[in-house]
């Protein structure tokens, strides 16, 4: 891997016409957990150059055999202390949306053909999306208010809140297949059964999500803003932003009869710590960075909680947070 690093410095990595590219960029700066070592290369193309640049980058990376990791808002990630080998393509500069009230092209169809709808770039922050739609009197996305992360990451994760998943609104997703053969973006219609609890078909496909189309309903801006603000206040009251985290650490499993956080609470694990990582004293399903956590601490704590719950209850919790990057070497 050190060889890959040295080579990366020598070879001519394409640069975006607008945006930032850096070597050895600390991923702790780009994740809500505030942990993670350096990415060999981190690039955030800005604005309209994004899809064209991504296509060029994927072609380059394929020919050089360099891995590419796609970063959304970094709100569900534990990046290894050794960082990420290869290139991190940050989608955060690819933002904005258009509301569509009628088909743009004759014959435009989808299994969920729906107008009005919004076509939105994948790097748009979820909270900005919820806010923007509420302000314009479009109902649907307000349940995403206050949720950290971006649209692409939320579709990839099939993010959910209050019994609603983002896939409930999804009409189609625009993607680029990262292995080619063509790096042109194309639309994938939503298909019933492709999405499930915290599952999307993109988890099994090496693809960049460039945009998504969601159905909307007419709403009253004041009411929608009130609903969005109530959700934000509820998250604050539940301590979501009191310390760096990636939200719920474990998936809920209906067959366990109780939410993961409740099982962890009942074992007296609130406040249980390893190094600088701790189970939040106020929320059994939140692992927090108390200020000096390493990614290794978070991983050890996650594994220890799984072992303890299994030892006492015979149930195997499944992490919802994603461990990514260079965990294997060193
Ligand atoms: C305080 C807090 C509260 C939270 N509450 C909730 C909640 O209520 N419900 C919930 O579901 N989640 C919650 N989360 C987790 C997080 O907000 C969601 O999982 C969010 O959808 C992650 O989006 P992201 O853009 O940050 O993705 P990232 O964390 O950046 O990436 C997640 C995965 O998606 C992939 N990915 C990201 N963007 C793209 C793209 N454009 N194309 C292809 N792949 C991509 C990444 O490679 C990675 O595998 C919470 C997190 C925090 C910190």
CATH number at residue 33: 3.30.43.10
Residues 110 and 128 in one domain: yes
Quote the pLDDT of residue 127. 98
Pocket test for ligand 1, best of 73, 75, 86 (most atoms within 8 A of CB): 75
Q: How far apart are CA 311 and CA 301, in angstroms?
A: 15
The predicted-structure confidence for 309-326, as pLDDT tens digits, reads as follows: 999 999 999 999 999 999
C-alpha 233 – ligand 1 centre gap (Å): 20
- Provide the pLDDT for residue 330: 45
Judge if 86 and 104 occupy the same domain. Answer: no
Task: Tell me what the pLDDT averaged over the chain comes to.
Answer: 94
Show the ligand 1 pocket: residues with CB < 6 angstroms: 32, 69-77, 91, 122, 147-150, 152-154, 156-157, 159-161, 202, 208-209, 240-241, 245-247, 322
Is residue 114 located within the same domain as residue 79?
no
17 contact partners, CB below 8 Å, separation of at least 6: 45, 49, 53
Are both 140 and 84 inside the same structural domain?
A: no
Give the lowest-confidence range in 97-111, 183-197, 201-215, 281-295.
97-111
Mutate to test the pocket of ligand 1, among 156, 233, 246 (most ligand atoms within 8 A of CB): 156
Single out the catalytic residue among 248, 255, 273, 328: 248
Predicted confidence at residue 109, as pLDDT, reads: 54
What's the pLDDT tens digit per position in 126-151? 999 999 999 999 999 999 999 999 99
Pairing of strands 84-90, 38-45: parallel
The answer to whether residue 142 sits within a structural domain is yes
Q: Are residues 17 and 65 in the same domain?
A: yes
User: Residue 139 sits in a domain of what CATH number?
Assistant: 3.30.465.10
Q: What's the pLDDT at 293?
A: 98
56 is catalytic: no
What CATH number corresponds to the domain at position 269?
3.90.78.10
What CA–CA distance (Å, rounded) separates 124 from 68?
20
User: Is it the case that residue 112 has pLDDT exceeding 70?
Assistant: no
pLDDT digits (tens, 9 = 90+) for 218-227: 999 999 999 9
Within the chain, what is the greatest distance between any pair of CA atoms? 60
Predicted local distance difference test score (pLDDT) of residue 102: 77
Residue nearest to atom 17 of ligand 1 (CA): 148
**What percent of the chain lies above the pLDDT cut of 90?**
89
Closest ligand 1 atom to 246 CA: 53
CA 18, 23, 29, 35 dihedral sign is positive
Is residue 273 part of the annotated active site? The answer reads: no
Overall average pLDDT of the 117-131 stretch: 97
Helices (H) and strands (E) in the chain, counts: 7, 18
What is the pTM (predicted TM-score) of this model? 0.95
Q: pLDDT, tens digit, for every residue of 9-57?
A: 667 889 999 999 999 999 999 999 999 999 999 999 999 999 999 999 9
Give the angle 177-196-192 at the CA atoms, nearest 5°. Answer: 75
Same domain flag for 72 and 136: no
**C-beta separation of 262 from 252 below 8 A:** no
231 with 303, same domain?
no
In this predicted structure, what is the pLDDT of residue 328? 79
**What distance in angstroms lies between residue 106's CA and the mean position of ligand 1's atoms?**
35
Instruction: Judge whether 286 and 269 are in contact, CB under 8 Å.
Output: no
3-state secondary structure of 5: helix
Please confirm whether the linkage preceding 116 is cis (ω < 30° from 0): yes
Is the distance from CB of 162 to CB of 155 less than 8 angstroms? no
Full domain range(s) for residue 185: 97-237
Give the residue-averaged pLDDT of 231-252: 97
Which protein residue has the closest C-alpha to ligand 1 atom 45?
153
Instruction: Give the C-alpha separation, 109 to 13, whole Å.
Output: 39
What are 253-302's pLDDT values in tens digits?
999 999 999 999 999 999 999 999 999 999 999 999 999 999 999 999 99
101: confidence class by pLDDT, cuts 50, 70, 90: confident
**Mean pLDDT on 107-117:** 65
Predicted local distance difference test score (pLDDT) of residue 97: 98
Give the distance (Å) from ligand 1 centre to CA of residue 35.
Answer: 15
Output the DSSP codes for 232-277: HHHHHHTTTTSS---SBSB---GGGSS-HHHHHHHTT-TT-EETTE
pLDDT confidence band for 237 (50 / 70 / 90) = very high
Percent pLDDT > 70 in the chain is 93
Domain boundary among 177, 210, 237: 237
């Amino acid at each position: 891997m050190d060889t890959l690093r040295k080579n990366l410095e020598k070879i001519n990595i394409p640069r975006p016409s607008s945006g930032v590219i850096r070597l050895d960029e600390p991923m702790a700066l780009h994740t809500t957990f505030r942990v993670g070592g350096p990415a060999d290369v981190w690039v955030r193309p800005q604005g309209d150059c994004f899809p064209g640049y991504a296509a060029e980058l994927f072609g380059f990376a394929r020919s050089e055999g360099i891995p590419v990791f796609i970063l959304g808002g970094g709100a569900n990630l534990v990046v290894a202390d050794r960082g990420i080998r290869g290139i991190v393509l940050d989608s955060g500069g690819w933002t904005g949306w258009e509301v569509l009230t009628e088909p743009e092209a004759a014959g435009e169809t989808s299994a969920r053909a729906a107008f009005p709808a919004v076509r939105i770039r994948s790097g748009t922050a979820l909270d900005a999306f919820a806010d923007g739609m509420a302000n314009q009197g479009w109902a649907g996305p307000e349940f995403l208010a206050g949720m950290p992360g971006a649209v692409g990451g939320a579709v990839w994760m099939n993010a959910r809140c209050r019994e609603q998943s983002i896939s409930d609104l999804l009409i189609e997703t625009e993607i680029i297949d990262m292995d080619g053969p063509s790096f042109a973006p194309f639309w994938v219609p939503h298909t019933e059964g492709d999405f499930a609890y915290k599952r999307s078909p993109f988890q099994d496909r090496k693809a960049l999500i460039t945009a998504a189309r969601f159905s909307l309903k007419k709403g009253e801006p004041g009411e929608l803003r009130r609903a969005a603000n109530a959700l934000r206040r509820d998250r604050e009251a539940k301590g979501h932003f009191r310390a760096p985290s990636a939200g719920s650490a474990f998936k809920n499993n209906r067959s366990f009869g109780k939410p993961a956080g409740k099982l962890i609470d009942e074992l007296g694990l609130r406040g249980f710590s390893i190094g600088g990582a701790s189970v939040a004293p106020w929320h059994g399903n939140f692992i927090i960075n108390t200020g000096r956590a390493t990614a290794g601490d978070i991983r050890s704590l996650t594994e220890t909680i799984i072992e303890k719950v299994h030892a006492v209850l015979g149930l195997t919790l499944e992490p919802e947070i994603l461990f990514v990057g260079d965990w294997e070497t060193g």
